Amino acid sequence: MAKKYIIGLDIGTTSVKALVFDRNGKVIAETEQLNTSFYPEPGFVEQDPDVIVSASVFVLKAVMEQADIIANELISVGFSCAMHSLICVDENGHALSRAMTWADGRSSEQAERLLKEKGLSFYEKTGTPIHPMSPLTKFIWMKETGFAPFEKAAYFMSLKEYLVFHWFNERVVDYSMASASGMFNGALLDWDEEILAHVGVVKKQLATPVAPTHILKGLDPIVAKYIGLPEDLPFVIGAADGQLANLGSGAILPGEVAITAGTSGAVRQWTTSFRPNEKHETFCYMFTGDTAIIGGPTNNGGIALDWLKKTLNYSGTHAEFTEEAAQVELGADGLFFLPYINGERAPLWNQKARGTFFGLSITHEHPHFVRAVLEGITFNLYQIAETLERLAGASEKIYVNGGLARSPIWIQMLADVFGKKIYMSESHHSAAWGAAWTALVALGEVSSFADIKENVPPGEVVEPDMARHVHYQKLYKKYAALAANIAKHFD
């Protein structure tokens, strides 16, 4: 029987997703299981790694059943995973701690101090901005606070490494996940000894860095039997969700920008060299040995809209809530929103940043707040894109993916703010398709990463309204000035 399907397993912060694709990128079936985050203290954000592993098993089994395919039709499974998680693990692979996620801000003080000391020199070697999102600063916090799991740990892993170790008994990490740790030298493609010494970790405690095409074999028999897969089915380690979202949307040429807008957000471009930014404004994470992704992530995408919906106690659907913004004109009658409710990475790189409404009037009602929040999210992405353009050149083509991309009013707003056509794919699951395509490359089923451009099912192209773009440019200047003026007050 012909092998014609590939699965992309996408381990995100909000959920774990499994999608079955055909060779052309068409989604055959998809299954999702939501993740639970824990907040044991202010600034702490954790997840249970064993629950994440169990969820991954569950969604793989469920998606196979939903697609109604048999194991012999399956080519491979490719992994995508959110960046910056950190777990302390004993010598037998058992977790000694929950996973600290990218949103965990407990190491804010350590990040501030490191930035004043060796931080910029570390950034130049790793491409990872100095921020509490990264395992680098989390390690320093662990060391300084005498965190018991840190002192007892034999190994340290991200969520993907933890899953790979439990399923395949192999301690490996792909270049992109290693890059996001803040301890991986992008030019050398190896752990940086100076940085490891600074945080009190030795190389043997970390996984071996490998290319995204690294093939994993020997699936745990119990896992294989439960899912219904052969033990010798090749899995491919893949990469981080950011790199794979660009790949899966086809944004891999100079001037092609991918915007991801889910719970959080990011603006990214593909590059053929390791290029940290002199001003510490963007990340640069390796993908293969000679390609990388540069860009800026924001903590505040759809999470800001979800917060507003909950705060206003709105009982309708998410789509209905978003459409409330259509009731008021652009600019929300002078109401601006700086969307830093969850701290902020790019463009501020300040976990202590907080959200602000400016220009509030007695005449403003909840549709104004909805529009202001959507515009604030979009202006923030535009500000990140401006920074990226200074480093990588003008954006010629913009691709978008993520949950917020399902909102027609927001997509039109994005086109109007950027003044560019917005290219959407048929599926919003670009990271999963990027993971699946990486598996095809690894197994020689396709000839190159670049060939994916012919295998991204096209979606709608949204044209900008240039008159509205001119208006938005005026509003953006005010937004940028507000952002610059208020940033100095976050301490």
| CA–CA distance, 215 with 211 (Å, rounded to integer) | 9
Q: Is 190 exposed, middle or buried (0-12, 13-18, 19+ CB in 10 A)?
A: middle
- The pLDDT tens digits along the chain (491 residues) read 678 999 999 999 999 999 999 999 999 999 999 999 999 999 999 999 999 999 999 999 999 999 999 889 999 999 999 999 999 999 999 999 999 999 999 999 999 999 999 999 999 999 999 999 999 999 999 999 999 999 999 999 999 999 999 999 999 999 999 999 999 999 999 999 999 999 999 999 999 999 999 999 999 999 999 999 999 999 999 999 999 999 999 999 989 999 999 888 999 999 888 888 878 889 999 999 999 999 999 999 999 999 999 999 999 999 999 999 999 999 999 999 999 998 898 888 888 899 999 999 999 999 999 999 999 999 999 999 998 888 888 888 999 988 898 899 999 999 999 999 999 887 778 999 999 999 999 999 999 999 999 999 888 999 999 999 999 999 999 999 999 999 889 87
Reading the block at residue 479, the tokens are: 């937004």
Exposed (0-12), middle (13-18) or buried (19+): which is 478, by Cβ within 10 Å?
middle
pLDDT of residue 488: 86
Name the nearest CA neighbour of 432 among 63, 39, 53, 179. 63
**Which residue in 76, 98, 123 sits closest to 283, CA to CA?**
123
| Rounded CA Rg of the chain | 22
| Residues in Cβ contact with 363 at an 8 Å cutoff, skipping those fewer than 6 apart | 333
Q: Are 243 and 293 in contact (CB under 8 A)?
A: yes
pLDDT of residue 1: 60
